Structure 1
Amino acid sequence: MYSKSKITIFTLFMTVFYSSTFAQMGTQNAITDIVRQFHVNFSNNEVEKNGLLVDDSLVVNVNGGAGNRTNGATFKGRDEFVKWLKTFKSTFPDSKIIDENIVVSGNKAAIRYIFTGIHSGTLPSANGPIQPTGRKVIMYAAEFFTFNDSGKLIYLETLTNDLDMITQLTSK
């Protein structure tokens, strides 16, 4: 019915297929774990640890990058990245990030998350600094990660709803 060579070819095909599939799943799981670790470190006030997860060539664009003068910013390199995280964390020292959805494809990941925190520090804004209000902020956001072959972050696009956050802080 089936020749020995057909069975051998089928067995070889299945071995290669499943090995490739499991290797890809392993990579996707590793990237998912790294993305989650960024947010765990942030929530645990250990943003310095996030510096260990990025490549020196990292580029971060927030809300479209520096070209978006309203609320965009661009940070380059590990030191600027960690400084940005520390600055934001000083504005909301008790802040937490709750991951909702993570999608991984190849070396890229997309995540939707909820940011919560009490406004306890000065928040820079396009209309001047907003002094601490003591109000709790709940903000929905998304991030898009790109990793190099070593598993280090090389590009991050962060999209936040700053208008909603400012409204929460300044409404009567």
Structure 2
Amino acid sequence: MTDRPHDPEALLAACARGERAALQRLYQTEAPLLLGIVLRLVRDRGLAEDILHDAFLRIWRGAAGFAPERGSARGWMCSVARNLALNALRDRQRLVPLADGWEPLAESADPAREANGRRLEGCLQNLEAPRREAILAAYLDGCSHGEIAQRLQAPLGTVKSWITRGLKALRECMT
């Protein structure tokens, strides 16, 4: 297996080589985060666990296609899980309403992840309210740009700009 047991990029590369132990380690370290994302969208623990299982199958099968120059491994895995959850919601023809407050599902045992989470929270708070609301609606609630435009009563192009510029500001703040 990899010399870097907590590095998602290295673990994905090991998965691409067919190393099952790397998938097991990836599951141990990333499943709580991915489950939280999926559960936030589908609001059904059983369904979320099924989607998480499917996500890790897709991650295992698609590990060789992961391109680190296009983004982080964690981001790629989050996208896989999120897209599967959104597909499940579309299949069920239902929308997930915005919750008043979002709380993480479980505390992380990884201090670096917790520190990144706190930094991200701070960076989100520094964004202008419309940009923050648009990003949260897109990534936490799974809304399309059109749905966000309706929700925020703003033109579609404006919403797309808010999200693009907001994500850029978040990346800059996090580096």
TM-score, normalised to structure 2's length?
0.29
Whose strand proportion is higher, 1 or 2?
Answer: 1
Whose helix proportion is higher, 1 or 2?
Answer: 2
Quick check: which has more Rg, 1 or 2? Answer: 1
